Structure 1
Amino acid sequence: MIATKEQERKTLEKIKQMVDELGENSYLAAAFTGAFELAEQNIENDWGITTQEYIDRAIKADENENRAKKELAAVKAELEGVRSAHRGTTKALEETCERAKRYAYEIDSLKEAMKAAKLEITTLKAKLYDYMTAAS
């Protein structure tokens, strides 16, 4: 014979009453803590989850949560390492850019000095040519 949901509900109420009669400090009351709620869920949802399965699932969930927390902590530590390396690389790049700007300025200054020197050399060559042709 298969019990109906209504029969299950009535029997559960009887069991609850019997445990209640023992008082809240009874061993059975302690053992049934949470079991009545699980039984009600089983009845309403057509489930057949045992208390042990519920406990095992909770333990597994805790284990998964702890593992996930450890993995998250490792990922956070790795991310901080990457961020730190990025900050170092960014700083080095900024310093390199500043040096490049200074070198570019120095090169431009040297180019101007070379132009001026070439002009002076050309002028001096012209004067020398003039002196050489005038003396002959």
Structure 2
Amino acid sequence: MNTYKITFTRENGTQGADHFTAATEKQARKDFNECYRHGTGVIVSVELVRTDAPATKQQERDALAKIRQIVDTLGPESYLAIAFEGCFDLAAENIENDWGCSMADRVRRAEKRAAELEDKLTESVKDYEAAHAAAHAVAEEKDAEIAKLKAQLTKMQETARWNGQRCDEEATAAGEAQRRAETAEAEVIRLKAKLYDYMTREG
């Protein structure tokens, strides 16, 4: 946009100056007449003082309205309507909020976010595979330990069974010895009684 310095003469003969931002001198003169429509100021000169001036918010709003109207006349299925989908709303937000966002920026941010998520997913897969491998190794180690414990338990059970059999045999032998001892003791008592009877008769 260009900035024009417009010098003008007021009704009382004094001179004044004002600056207008417009695309062309013609538009600047038109904006001057609109601004000073309630007076009788007469333009004396128009001087171009800047060629890189930013447009005003109202100029941006007006331009956006014209562009939207042009695209609307083409229909919602037109290539331009499809290409500009969401752009008009974003442009309006930029104007009102002094933002500098674009659909391209949003796409780049989305692509960056997608790449970050892909990296995280790849890292998560690696972590999962490593954890799975570690868990598998631990499982194998535990399986071996369990098998060893089972073997030890089986051996202990066999030993206990053998010891039980020995205990049963020894218990049987002890019972037999006790029975024989009781029989012998009874026989001794019987013989003593018999001897006593014999000795008593002899006397």
Instruction: Calculate the TM-score normalised by the size of structure 2.
Output: 0.42
Q: Shift in Å at residue 127 of structure 1?
A: 1.4
Structure 2 letter corresponding to 1:102: E
Q: Which shifted more, 48-57 or 100-109? A: 48-57
Counterpart in the other structure of 1:18: none
The structure with more helix, counted as a fraction of residues? 1
Q: Shift in Å at residue 102 of structure 1?
A: 0.5
* Divergent runs of 4+, >3 A: none
Counterpart in the other structure of 2:183: 116
Structure 1 letter corresponding to 2:181: M
Counterpart in the other structure of 1:129: 196
Instruction: Calculate the TM-score normalised by the size of structure 1.
Output: 0.62
Structure 2 letter corresponding to 1:62: E
Distance of 1:50 and 1:104 partners within structure 2? 77
- What is the aligned-residue identity percentage? 19
Would you say 1:63 and 2:127 are equivalent positions? no
**Runs of 5+ in structure 2 lacking a partner?**
1-109
The structure with more strand, counted as a fraction of residues? 2
Structure 2 letter corresponding to 1:52: D
Counterpart mapping for 1:68-107 below 5 A: 68-107=135-174
Structure 2 letter corresponding to 1:58: V
Aligned length: 91
Structure 1 letter corresponding to 2:160: L
Residue 50 of structure 1 aligns to a residue in which SS?
helix
Counterpart in the other structure of 1:4: none
Distance of 1:135 and 1:78 partners within structure 2? 84
Structure 2 letter corresponding to 1:98: Q
Distance of 2:117 and 2:197 partners within structure 1? 116
**Runs of 5+ in structure 1 lacking a partner?**
1-41
> What do you get for the CA RMSD once the two structures are aligned?
1.8
Structure 2 letter corresponding to 1:99: R
Q: Shift in Å at residue 50 of structure 1?
A: 2.2
Q: Shift in Å at residue 135 of structure 1?
A: 2.0
